[in-house]
Structure 1
């Protein structure tokens, strides 16, 4: 186990079998996990008047679906709890917080609508001739204090690196097979936190995959707890955006147009929801998609630097691609860009800006040794 600090976020490296990896992760990130638990306790109390015992009880509903879908992930969750010195129910609650929010009283669903904007470029659209992808991960301000960069080295699947809230299995990331993952919240009129495979467990399944096609097939064939958008690409040239509703119904597939895919927080494929609840509440998702798409259209080919600039876009601020916390809002309601992330799929590397990309220093590339 290794723990270092770069660009403001702890970098935690773990090895071993699932439970040992989880234990190392929980031990190294213990302080941030404890802070994450306090942060979400405040969020649920603020929006729903739910105490943490109630939140944990709802999280336990997903223990069996996780075990059935990925016994290794279930073991890892148990290991994280042991390393962090907390209950398994606490780590389950962190990893299913999206589903619990949809099961809670209506006002809490508003905070579930995080503002993420993502992209993928095929080789003909990059100056280096390799596939690049990335996004701004936007969420509650408290996540800036709990985010970590998790590097996993293992024998039971591809190694990977992910930028994620401490104690959670995965978020945005890339693995040693060259599979990259970006993601966006979607909210359909069918989302109610139903029993099923949780969103963050499905995100982890992408980084467990040996190819983009395998990852996409796994998402599409699973009974999902909530709607979500999964932008998946790999070093071989696979590039697909998968929009999903809850359950095991049909999914939407979006492929590159002129070598690019961009996505925000509304459905682009018809027929997946009766009412797009995110779009209904936060129409600026269309503006963010427009501005990121326009940025990518400014140049035929892009460099890492031009993509960093695109993620720092402030058009239509404060509802812009690059977001800043509104200090006039109560702490539990402040959202902002937690991290900007860009991945080079051929290089198996990820770089990130901790906080808003316009004012943060980007990290050096975090590389995965494909032969490890």
Structure 2
């Protein structure tokens, strides 16, 4: 499956609520499509009505209110701008928790949610041809997302500006900010994924967008109770990266993984022991085992320094088709259960440039997106660092 029309770019600014209203107004068509598509997906895949999904996520509002009330302001603004309810928008942002909680409950009774998911990577300067830090991924999801993805560009008054490729109505997905931080993600699911009270997966990604350093991001992940499992691959233009495998709960459910030979790759199963629970990937995302082998071989173990073009080639791999690194719809499945690589993205954290394939990378060249100075906003930490390093140079001279 391909896509003839590039994903729309949307620029928002102002307060959290104002940004949400602008987002909802500009992406109204995509938000409504996303809402309708998930109503169908929940009903057909896990047997829940939309009202049941809303009810199943209502207990997650309070943890977000306690930790990140500004993100609820954004969601209320999205709802107002789109003309839907806050509960609709919140449920979309908690759709990971809806899906996996239902999947875990049904796993011993019947086949529930069959997923094709994401292949992510980070490459530090020694592994790239231009010496830049690159973070990226293929994002594989239901084919309805071809009609709901947007490139959201966010200008904030007191925090880093950021850009994210995201399903319209959700707060964040693959993200790069003006402080030089980049985030790629993988869904993970364990026997403990019962939508317990905590911060939803996509809300935590949004929190990373506000971080100015890699340590900030690790702190955020560790100091809040998470509602669901998830993998967060986070890099910084300083030439550093970390991968966080997480299960529901607090800091005890985080397993950090550091780069090996200046590279990280991850798919949708735990590569380390799962704290206090069991990995359900073999049931829910069986293709993850093959995809990890392929991206390990083509990206992490590549001998030559990699370019963006070489990464597009690696992310276009069709081995184990159709559940491949470059995923295509499986004709054996009904349309509502068909998956594809909805987008492929490489984030150049040094140049603050996004390389985006609007659909499968095997069929769509990367667009090079720059952001007219949006990501040139000086980080408060970078300014302080420059002052300190300037003073050190003066002393040395």
Verify same fold: TM over 0.5.
yes
SS at match of 2:264: strand
The equivalent residue for 1:73 is 71
TM superposition shift of 1:366: 3.1
Task: Indicate if the aligned counterparts of 2:116 and 2:339 stay in contact, CA closer than 8 A.
Answer: yes
Q: Does 2:95 match 1:97?
A: yes
Alignment partners' CA distance in 1, 2:286 and 2:118: 13
Asked if 1 retains the 8 angstrom alpha-carbon contact of 2:100 and 2:189, the reply is: no
Between the aligned partners of 2:289 and 2:46, the Cα distance in structure 1 is: 29
Shift, 1:197, TM fit? 0.4
Mapping of residues 210-359 of structure 1, within 5 Å: 210-248=212-250, 249-296=252-299, 297-359=301-363
In 2: Cα distance, 1:109 partner to 1:34 partner? 28
Q: Which moved more, 1:348-357 or 1:116-125?
A: 348-357
Deviations 1:251-293 (A, max 9, x none): 1111110110000111112142542101344433121011111
Deviations, residues 281-310 of structure 1 (Å, cap 9, x unaligned): 443312101111111223330011101111
Conservation of the 8 A alpha-carbon contact between 1:14 and 1:25: yes
Matches for 1:194-213 after TM superposition, within 5 Å = 194-213=196-215
Structure 2 CA distance, aligned partners of 1:68 and 1:156?
20
Residue 31 in 1 paired to residue 37 in 2? no
Larger deviation, residues 361-370 vs 128-137: 361-370
2:49 to 51, 55, 59: 51
Q: Secondary structure at the match of 1:369?
A: helix
Indicate the RMSD between aligned Cα atoms, in angstroms.
Answer: 1.9
Q: Using the alignment, how far apart are the partners of 2:376 and 2:306 within structure 1?
A: 25
**C-alpha distance 57-109 of structure 1, shift in aligned 2 (>3 A):** farther
- Seen in structure 2, the aligned counterparts of structure 1 residues 112 and 200 have a Cα distance that, compared at 3 Å, is farther
Deviation at 1:10, TM superposition (A): 1.0
Using a 3 Å threshold, how does the CA distance of structure 1 residues 136 and 109 change in structure 2: closer, same or farther? farther
| 40-49 or 190-199: bigger deviation | 40-49
Give the conservation status (yes or no) of the 8 Å contact 1:102–1:109. Answer: no
Max radius of gyration: which structure? 2
SS in 2 for 1:364: strand
Partners of 2:183 and 2:111 in 1: CA distance: 24
Corresponding residue for residue 369 of structure 1: 375
The 3-state SS of whatever aligns with 1:191 is: coil
Deviates more, 1:51-60 or 1:203-212: 51-60
| Gapped regions of structure 2 (runs ≥ 5) | 379-397
Distance 1:162 1:208, change over 3 A: same
User: In structure 2, how many angstroms separate the alpha carbons of the residues matched to 1:349 and 1:7?
Assistant: 20
Q: How many residues align?
A: 368
CA distance in 1, matches of 2:288, 2:50: 31
TM-score (normalizing by structure 2): 0.89
The aligned counterpart of 1:106 is 106
Structure 1 SS opposite 2:322: coil
SS at match of 2:249: coil
* Cα distance change, pair 298–266 in 1 and its aligned pair in 2 (3 A): same
Distance in 2 between the 1:61 and 1:271 partners? Answer: 25
